């Protein structure tokens, strides 16, 4: 079985738009940019033989605020910048009650089946409680990137860090302690 690192997209891999302490996904392709350190962090995970899976809620599609083709163009830009094994997207609105929308673990479970991932040996990195809850529900070790959002943290992650590179350092140190 493979190990994986599941990553939220907005606020973890790419920049968001901040409005009054709340983060929003960008809606224009020209505003879609990687956060500092993303390329190197993903390269380090790949070198350590982790599968890299993006799991992202994109309710702006379901709410009619962005066309799915724009989101797919963003994902193509992401694939060009970093090597990914899979991108899973939930395009549904917040109130659709689908199985794929985080905090439900549907995207992680589907990816695990598709890629032969051992969830107990895997990690979920996110910037919101929904990411932590989804990761925990799937059986992953959870890391929260604390971006200082004004929303309450509704779940306790296994680890809190400030950046993606810091999260990757935790994962690689954990891997080293298992080997050593």
Cross-strand bridge partners of residue 60 = none
Residue 10 is a catalytic residue: yes
How many CB atoms lie under 10 A from the CB of residue 139?
16
Looking at beta carbons, which pairs linking 75-83 to residues 24 or more positions away fall under 8 Å?
77/29, 77/32, 78/9, 78/13, 78/14, 78/32, 78/34, 78/54, 81/34, 81/38, 81/39, 82/13, 82/34, 82/38, 82/39, 82/42, 82/43, 82/52, 83/42, 83/43, 83/46, 83/52
Cα(103)–Cα(123) distance, integer angstroms: 15
Nearest to 14 by CA among 29, 153, 124, 44: 29
Q: Which active-site residues does the annotation give?
A: 8, 10
């Amino acid at each position: 079985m493979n190990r994986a690192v599941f990553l939220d997209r907005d606020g973890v891999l790419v920049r968001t738009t901040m409005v009054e302490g709340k983060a929003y996904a960008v809606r224009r392709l020209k505003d879609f940019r990687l956060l500092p350190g993303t390329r190197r962090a993903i390269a380090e995970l790949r070198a350590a033989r982790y599968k890299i899976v993006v799991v992202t809620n994109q309710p702006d599609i379901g709410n009619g605020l962005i066309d799915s083709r724009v989101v797919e163009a963003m994902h193509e830009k992401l694939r060009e910048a970093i090597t990914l094994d899979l991108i899973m997207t939930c395009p549904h609105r917040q109130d659709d009650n689908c199985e794929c929308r985080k905090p439900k673990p549907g995207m992680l479970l589907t990816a695990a089946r598709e890629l032969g991932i051992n969830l107990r040996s895997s990690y979920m990195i996110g910037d919101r409680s929904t990411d932590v809850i989804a990761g925990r529900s799937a059986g992953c070790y959870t890391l929260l990137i604390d971006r200082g959002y004004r929303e309450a943290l509704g779940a306790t992650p296994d680890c809190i860090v400030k950046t993606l590179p810091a999260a990757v350092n935790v994962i690689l140190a954990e891997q080293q302690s298992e080997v050593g």
